[in-house]
Structure 1
Amino acid sequence: MTEFHWITLGLGVALVAGVWGFNAWQEWRFKKRAAAAFARSHPDVLLETPKNMVRQGEAVARMEPSLAGAGTPPPPASPVVNAPEELELTDSLALAVSVLDPSLDYIAELHPGETIDYAEITQIEVGKRIRTLGLSTLDEWEVVRPGGSYSELRIGLQLVDRQGPLSEAQMVMFCEQVIALAERAGGVATFPRREDKLRIAQHLDTFCADVDMLIGLNIVSSRNPFPISRVRSMAESAGMVFEGDGAFHMRSDSGKALFTLTDRHHRPLDALEDTPSLTLMLDVPRVAGGELAFDRMTDLAQQMALTLGGDLVDDENRSLKPADLAAIQKQLIVIYDRMDERGIAAGSMAALRLFA
């Protein structure tokens, strides 16, 4: 080989080594920053707030019916979370704690280099509920809103819902997107330990699966189908209201959902002239005072079965006797006691979020 060839070869080797070295340095730099982010150990008044301080408010479907199921479960309803204007709270910290709960959320802290505007806060998508709070220029926490400018962000990723617990892959995706947002804002992001939160998510999901029950009482025609006009008359006389999902809803005086009346096969009732079967349904963990709601539901079910000439049956079309209904009532009490002991009261904001 000539001297020119040797020089060319040497330059090529040097170039490859340089590229390799630069990539190795970049990887080391990223790992160092990520390790620093996940090594969060400083206390935070927002993140360390006791969980019982946030058991207030409202949000909505894993179906595991027990004793008296409801047939094929309907599609999960869309989560409904209180918007900031619906929360009658004057203290910004109370607002922050009511929206993000360290026992339910994996909460990232984002510290931008300068204030970050709402328009710069990119949407994060990982398949779980995410809420973002910002520390405004007035030094008050608020749910981020158009036109807002923030010196600090708290971004919460919900640990559990009815689709199951947060996965490690979802958590990694979340962290990557938050880190990218922090870099664009010229700042840094910090996170709780992933292993700890994943373990909490698994335990919480196990608890939720144990108490998640949808009780359905079916009224089946023994002869002719039930005319929808008569069904409507009875439902409205009982205080139920027909809503846009094609079902009748029983609500409390404050508007909270108690139970529903639907066609057993979940066809919109306003699209039918008659139906051979109906279902009264109670979503157990989402209803506060569920024992009384169950009593009202069973009374209405028995009255409708008698008046319409139908049979009250369970999911396997077995006749439901008073003793069967009493057994369900006892199981219901056990579930609500377990939820209270866990600090997740039925119908509370925590329950409505977890069972959504």
Structure 2
Amino acid sequence: MSELQISLLGIGVAVVLAIYIYNWLLQRKYRRKFGAVFKHRHEDALYRAAVEIPTDELPVEKMEPAVPISVPPNDSQQGETVDAMCVLLDEKTDFIAVISPKSPVNADALKLLWQQRFELDKNVHICGLSVASGEWEKVIEGSPWAYTSFKLALQLVTRAGAVSEAKLMDFRKLVRTIAAQLHADMVLPDVVEATARAVELDNFCAAVDLIIGLNLFPSNEHILSGNEIVRVAEQYGLCLQADGAFHLVDTHGHTLFSLCNENNAPFQNGTLDTVHVDGLTLLLDVPRVEQPSLSFDKMVVLAQQLASELRATIVDARHVALSEGSITLIRERIAAAEADMRVGHVIAGSAQARRLFS
């Protein structure tokens, strides 16, 4: 091979790699911005990032190490006497305001917050220091129990991205109004510092956020019927849920895998007798499951079992049969994300992870 040919080959590889990395960065950007909107649209490339690793012939993007973020530990490590959600609240994951009325009050004292909490873009968590138990516990609207103090927390990050400085300012103003009405003492964090923490945490979450899809396409142009899908899904423990997908849950009742219509149309009990689909997608939401690498191994086995029963082939987003090499690359990527989450003290599948990746 001449020097000219070698040079042209090198330039070609560099161009392909540059385009691949550019597309990946665009996907990451739009996932963080519009993740909530596309939550159930698994045909989008964001849900196929791993299975689109075509063959060993094309370059695979190098994952940047996630920045360690110290977050409260897994809820399984906490005592049983304290409300689990209240234990998870921390300044690294939430903007926490504390108000202490002059005398005990019930949940009705937070009327303004109950009315406006859905306007704040992110989840609002409310914990009260109970007069009866002396412990922090989750407060629900209309609760008659008396509390001496409240922690009003606005979550800094979800899958849709970081909370904005404007929303933090709105929340802070709302807390000030409530405190003034109750003549309560209050402790308010700095909005600028909280905004910076939100951006840092969002970057960390974006670096480890993976949803893996394995596509099942029937062989010889065989069309899958709804009844056939139900029979096979239930045979392997997957049950149809309200979102129109079949779910396999773990021992805690959390989704381990979900089986969806490849074209996004939800399955419905009333139409399963008549529905026919061209293909299915088996999904693994990596940050929300315990031991993602091990879960992926189980997912591959399940996909093979379903494919055998349905006379289908496991393929990638381009409908090319998924090779053992591609499966290995996917698993390595999952293992890297799992390790980065562990370093950042956000354990995959924990209550903290499930709320950050919601």
- The bucket for the TM-score relative to the shorter chain is 0.7 to 0.9
The answer to whether the 8 A contact 1:179-1:188 is kept is no
List runs of 5+ in structure 1 lacking aligned partners: 1-60, 70-86
Give the deviation of 1:290 after TM superposition: 1.7
Q: 1:221 aligns with which of 203, 218, 221?
A: 218
* 1:1-356 matched pairs, under 5 angstroms: 64-65=46-47, 66-68=49-51, 90-92=80-82, 95=84, 97-122=86-111, 123=114, 124-125=116-117, 126-138=120-132, 139-145=134-140, 146-222=143-219, 223-270=221-268, 271-272=271-272, 273-356=275-358
Amino acid at match of 1:239: G
1:97 Cα offset (Å): 4.4
Q: Distance in 2 between matches of 1:116 and 1:337?
A: 45
* Equivalent position amino acid for 2:331 in 1: Q
**Secondary structure of the corresponding residue to residue 152 of structure 2:** strand
Once the 2 structures are TM-superposed, how far is the Cα of residue 150 of structure 1 from its aligned partner? 1.9
Letter in 2 for 1:243: Q
Q: Is the 8 A contact 2:88 2:352 kept in 1?
A: no
Structure 1 CA distance, aligned partners of 2:311 and 2:80? 54
Q: Is the 8 A contact 1:131 1:157 kept in 2?
A: yes
- The alpha carbon displacement at 1:347 in A equals 0.6
CA contact (8 A) 2:86 2:138 kept: no
User: Partners of 2:330 and 2:286 in 1: how far apart?
Assistant: 11
Secondary structure at the counterpart of residue 293 of structure 1: helix
Q: Is the 8 A contact 1:286 1:347 kept in 2?
A: yes
Q: Structure 1, residues 103-159: CA drift from partner, whole Å, max 9, x if none? A: 211100112233222112122421111111112223332222410222211111101
CA displacement at 1:95 relative to structure 2: 4.9
Amino acid corresponding to residue 235 of structure 1 in structure 2? A
- Measure, in 1, the Cα distance between the counterparts of 2:216 and 2:85: 45
Shift of 1:317: 2.5
- The 3 A distance-change label for structure 1 pair 136 and 267 is same
Q: Equivalents in 1 of 2:197, 2:312: separation in Å? A: 47
Moved more, 335-344 or 305-314: 305-314
- Describe the superposition over 1:291-334 as per-residue Cα deviations: whole angstroms up to 9, x where unpaired: 22212221222233344333322223232112111110111111
| Alpha-carbon distance in 1 for matches of 2:196, 2:97 | 17
Q: Equivalents in 1 of 2:191, 2:92: separation in Å?
A: 14
Distance 2:294 2:321 in 1: 22
Deviation at 1:237, TM superposition (A): 1.9
Q: CA deviation at 1:281?
A: 0.5
SS in 1 for 2:205: helix
* Contact 2:232-2:310 at 8 Å conserved across structures: no
The whole-number CA distance in structure 1 between the counterparts of 2:253 and 2:137 is: 26
Gaps of 5+ in 2: 1-35, 40-45, 53-76
Inter-partner Cα distance in structure 2 for 1:227 and 1:209: 37
Checking the alignment, whether the CA contact within 8 Å between 1:130 and 1:155 is kept in structure 2 is yes
Indicate the percent of aligned positions where both proteins have the same amino acid: 31
TM-score (norm: length of structure 2): 0.72
Alignment partners' CA distance in 1, 2:84 and 2:326: 44
Conservation of the 8 A alpha-carbon contact between 2:86 and 2:127: no
- Spell out structure 1 runs of 4+ moving beyond 3 A: 61-65, 87-92, 94-97
Taking the aligned partners of 2:169 and 2:318, their CA distance within structure 1 comes to 43
Return the letter of the residue paired with 1:68.
Answer: V
Structure having the higher Rg: 1
Q: Which piece of structure 1 moves more, 253-262 or 103-112?
A: 253-262
Paired residue total: 278
| 8 Å CA contact retained: 2:96, 2:154 | yes
SS, match of residue 215 in structure 1: strand
SS in 2 for 1:269: coil
